[in-house]
Structures are given as C-alpha cells and as structure tokens.
C-alpha cells in the first residue's frame, strides 16, 4: 500500500485475515442489485452438502479480482462464477427463460430468443414489485445450479470451493452459506489509475464508476480475508498462494469427509451382507 495513504485495515488486523458478512447474485448477473427480502426462504442445508466449505470472493472495479481468480485456478482450486450461472439459467429452453417471457412479455427478447438484459433491466429499474418477481423466478434456479456445481466438486474431494460473487457485500442472503469471505483490495488512487488506463476513461468518468459501488474500504471491514493488490503483482500473487495454503490445511473440512467416508463404508458393508445372503446357497 502507498505510504501516503492511510491504512483501511483495523489496527488489530492485517491483509489475509478478518471477519463479517456476505451477499448473493443479481438475477441476471450484475444487471441489478438484489434486495435481501427478495429471496425465498432456503435453508443452508438445502444448498450445501452438510457443512460444505465455501469461500465467497469479491472485489471492486479494477481491483484485480479476475487476476486473483486466475491464480486460484492455476493452483487447482475449484471456482464457481455466480454471474455465469445467472446468465446460464435464463437461456432459451430453461424454465427461468420461459417464466420471464410469461411475466414480462416478448419485448424482453432479442431476435435470437435470448433475454435482452438492457430491456429487462429498464423494466425493473426503480420498480420493486417487478424486481421481486424477477428475483423469485431466477434465484431458485441459480441456487439449484450452485448446488449442482458445488456437489460435483464435493464428490471430487475438493477441500473448499470459491464462489466468485460481484455483489457479495452489497446484499446479505448468501452469508449463511459462506465459511470464509475474501475481498481483493487496492487503494483508491491505484484503483482510479488502473480504471482510467484500462477503460480509457476520463478521471471524472472513472470516479463516477467507483462511487457507484460500495467502497472497498467498507468491504475490507466485512471480510474474513483481504488480499491487498495495491502494489506489485508478485506480492499479491504470494498473498493468494499463502491464503490457499491456509484454507487447504484447514481442519474444518475433515469431519465432513470422514463422515461421508464412514457412511459409504457402511453402505458397502450392507450391500455385501445382502448379496451374500441372497446369492450364496444356504449351508
């Protein structure tokens, strides 16, 4: 972090470790923010296999979240992009697509049958009832896909799964599912410079885009872990490697895996007894 900038981190905490809250995906990716009361009452156990070890990861515009995700993937981590799931479940042929057309009309469709995200976004803008309706259509489908993807990684023996959620801290309902939360942080000057260079924006336009989001320093206060991407990329990459090692060696996952293995062993033993009883001749 630049020496001239005041540290956003509490005095008792440092990058790579603190705690608080979470959020959920927008109905069509980052189309619109989602209000907490828009979710159905879905219990954590209906989404996760037991106490599945989930890590919610977020950042801010031009903070470097995508680059951090790439490092986690290079390390062999399981990553689920919730925005991709949100786009996937509204494709033609899926239940959510049909219900959106029934609820909002064919004017929300492009010529190829896909949902026109801009038109639908305009329809629900500043209209809580319509937004709630859209959420009630898409969120159950998003949860189903999250559950499927998470369970696939669970069966393959992954210790934890990262959920890449852009609005992690803006909304609250995924808090109950997350064991850890991670924010990719950079200081305001660095964020502004990167955004102006990356998107070829004026300073005024870049500042407006940053102000439209929850400040990174606020996300820092709510996260379990902070990856400070204000300086050299090699330093950030080392933080990612260290965090992965910390999560990978966590014992939080062990009781769940042992329980599953014990259950499978019991099922195998029962099947063996049944087969020997019915297939082998009596003495």
Per-residue model confidence as pLDDT tens digits over 136-194: 999 889 888 988 999 899 888 888 999 999 888 887 667 778 899 999 999 999 999 99
The values of phi and psi at residue 189, to 5°, are -65, -45
Mean pLDDT of 99-103: 96
Whole-number pLDDT of residue 4: 39
Residues paired with 182 in a beta bridge: 57, 225
Higher pLDDT, 254 or 103: 103
Residue 66 near residue 266, CB atoms below 8 Å:
no
Whole-number pLDDT of residue 174: 77
Whole-number pLDDT of residue 90: 95
pTM: 0.68
Task: Give 3-state DSSP helix, strand, coil % of the chain, rounded to 5.
Answer: 50, 10, 35
Higher pLDDT, 143 or 204: 204
CA dist., res. 80 & res. 166, Å (int): 12
What is the share, in percent, of the chain residues with pLDDT greater than 70? Answer: 70
Beta strands in 20-160 (DSSP E): 54-58, 78-81
Least confident of 52-56, 114-118, 214-218: 52-56
Q: Give me the chain's average pLDDT, please.
A: 79
For strand 78-81 and strand 161-164, is the pairing parallel, antiparallel, or unpaired? parallel
Whole-number pLDDT of residue 171: 74
| ∠ Cα 194 169 222 (to 5°) | 95
Whole-number pLDDT of residue 283: 52
């Amino acid at each position: 972090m630049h020496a001239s900038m005041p540290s956003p981190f509490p005095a008792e905490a440092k990058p790579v470790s603190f705690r608080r809250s979470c959020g959920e995906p927008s109905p069509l990716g980052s189309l619109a923010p989602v209000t907490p009361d828009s979710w159905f009452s879905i219990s954590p156990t209906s989404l996760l296999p037991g106490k599945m070890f989930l890590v919610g990861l977020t950042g801010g515009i031009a903070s470097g979240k995508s680059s951090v995700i790439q490092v986690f993937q290079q390390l062999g981590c399981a990553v689920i992009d919730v925005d991709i799931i949100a786009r996937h479940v509204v494709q033609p042929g899926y239940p959510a697509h049909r219900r959106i057309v029934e609820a909002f009309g064919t004017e929300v469709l492009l010529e190829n049958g896909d949902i026109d995200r801009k038109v639908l976004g305009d329809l629900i803008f500043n209209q809580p009832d319509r937004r709630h309706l859209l959420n009630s259509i898409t969120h159950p489908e998003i949860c189903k896909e999250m559950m499927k993807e998470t369970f696939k990684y669970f069966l393959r023996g992954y210790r934890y799964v990262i959920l890449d959620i852009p609005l992690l801290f803006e909304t609250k309902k995924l808090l109950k599912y997350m064991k850890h939360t991670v924010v990719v942080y950079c200081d305001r000057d660095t964020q502004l410079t990167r955004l102006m260079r990356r998107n070829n924006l004026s300073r005024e336009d870049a500042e407006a885009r940053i102000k439209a989001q929850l400040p990174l320093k606020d996300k820092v206060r709510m996260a379990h872990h902070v990856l400070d991407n204000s300086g050299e990329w090699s330093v950030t990459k080392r933080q990612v490697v260290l965090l992965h090692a910390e999560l990978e060696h966590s014992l939080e996952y062990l009781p769940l895996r042992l329980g599953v293995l014990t259950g499978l062993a019991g099922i195998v033993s029962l099947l063996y007894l049944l087969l020997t009883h019915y297939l082998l001749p009596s003495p």
